[in-house]
Amino acid sequence: MTNLLLPRKTNDGLTGDVKKRSVELMNGVLGTNFILMLKTWVYHWNMVGPAFHQTHLWFNDLYETLIDDVDSIAERVRAMGGVTLSSTTEMLKGALIEEQVGKMPSIPDMIKTLLNDYEVSIKQMRAAVAILDTLKPSDDGDLNFLQDLIMRREKDAWMLRSNLSS
């Protein structure tokens, strides 16, 4: 994606450079969270095993939260005057995690994989917050948005971690 910003100007106190950097960072977060959503949903569909029912319902909650978050991330990109990633190819290119292709793992391995992916997502968002915090003028909207999203991902990562054997 080469044209990150739409040509219309806004009068919200942020410079074009700040908005462009915010859009770049948020599109990266969008790609990672989109692939995380898709992977969680695919696991939800394809799991088998003794813990099926409970885990199936749990993963349903996870991917529904991710659907809402992906939509909110895309809306933040648009609110900044940006253009969102617009294809699965672009989402994969922007993501820091990979798709699950081929044979489905066991439920414990699904949980381990999702935990790793949640932690990658958290690290990506922390790095974006650190960059956004250096921009002048500050993009407080994206900073606050990402900090709230980090807290949701941390809680879900804790739940995933707590379901693994010690």
pLDDT band of 145, cuts 50, 70, 90: very high
pLDDT band of 15, cuts 50, 70, 90: confident
Q: What angle do CA 24, 31, 98 make, to 5 degrees?
A: 135
For residue 60, is it within any domain?
Answer: yes
CATH code at 135?
Answer: 1.20.1260.10
Listed in sequence order, the residues at least 6 apart from 32 whose beta carbon sits closer than 8 Å to its beta carbon are 94, 95, 96, 97, 120, 121, 124
Per-residue pLDDT tens over the stretch 69-128:
999 999 999 988 899 999 999 999 989 999 988 889 999 999 999 999 999 999 999 999
For residue 6, is it within any domain?
Answer: no
CA 70 – CA 68 distance, rounded (Å):
6
Residue ranges making up the domain that contains 60: 16-162
The number of folded domains in the chain is 1
CA 72 – CA 42 distance, rounded (Å):
21
For residue 64, is it within any domain?
Answer: yes
pLDDT band of 7, cuts 50, 70, 90: low
Per-residue pLDDT tens over the stretch 61-84:
999 999 999 999 999 999 888 999
For residue 1, is it within any domain?
Answer: no
